[in-house]
Amino acid sequence: MKRFAVIGLGKFGTYTAMALYEDGHEVIVIDKDKTRVQAIKHHATESIVFDATNKETLKSLGLERMDAVIVSTGTQISSSILICLYLQEIGVQKILVKALDEDHEKILVRVGATEIIHPERAMAVRVARGLSQSNILDFVPLTKEFEILQAAAPQSFIEKSLKELNLRARYNVHIIAIKKEQEPDNFILVPAAEYVIRANDILIMLGKSGDIRKIKALQ
């Protein structure tokens, strides 16, 4: 389990926090709008109402111990810049910030952002790639109960064949593809039962969300 903080609970911040929490991580959410914080309190480990541009209060939260802090303050450019600067001064190692444009991005990088997020641009690229480079995974019919997820092979899977692991019987999860961590072009679709899992294998799994989480917990 990892620890994350999400500052700013607009649509992007809210969906990001909920997704991380549903994946089993510890998530702290922060926003100065009490209504927004109340709306997500059941989908977060801790929900806090305060203005994150208050440096002294921000320092008291121990955010430097987080695996990452995500900043998404909407159109409040000055707020995101100040928060990013304070997080960097506090000692947060991984700071992801939503940028509105390229100039905003340049400033954020200078004040300590380690990764810039452009949600609209990323989604546009994803849609375009899906249309121009159709992938079999895009056509798997899923319900809300099922999901496709890729994750590094747990240590207990290494050097064992899919037949030995028998994931379908043990977890009701299907390995539909395998790719190599450092070799994105090395992609095995529907691997044979005799396939032996290696240390750098990324497993692409299909199954119910709860069943897949049991495998992720083995990491």
CATH of domain 3-122: 3.40.50.720
Asked: is 137-216 a CATH 1.10.10.10 domain? The reply is no
8 Å CB contact between 92 and 64: yes
The residue among 58, 118, 117 whose CA lies nearest residue 88 is: 58
Query: What pLDDT, on the 0 to 100 scale, is given for residue 135?
Result: 46
Q: What span, in angstroms and rounded, lies between the C-alpha atoms of 71 and 43? A: 18
Domain ranges of the chain: 3-122, 137-216
Query: What pLDDT, on the 0 to 100 scale, is given for residue 212?
Result: 81
Query: What pLDDT, on the 0 to 100 scale, is given for residue 184?
Result: 63
Query: What pLDDT, on the 0 to 100 scale, is given for residue 151?
Result: 83
| pLDDT, one tens digit for every residue, the chain (219 residues) | 899 999 999 999 999 999 899 888 999 999 999 999 999 999 999 999 999 999 999 999 999 999 999 999 988 899 999 999 999 999 999 999 999 988 999 999 999 999 999 888 777 766 665 555 444 444 455 555 677 888 888 889 999 999 999 998 898 888 988 988 767 667 888 889 999 999 888 888 888 878 887 887 786
Amino acid letter for position 212: I
| Bridge partners (DSSP) listed for residue 69 | 5, 95
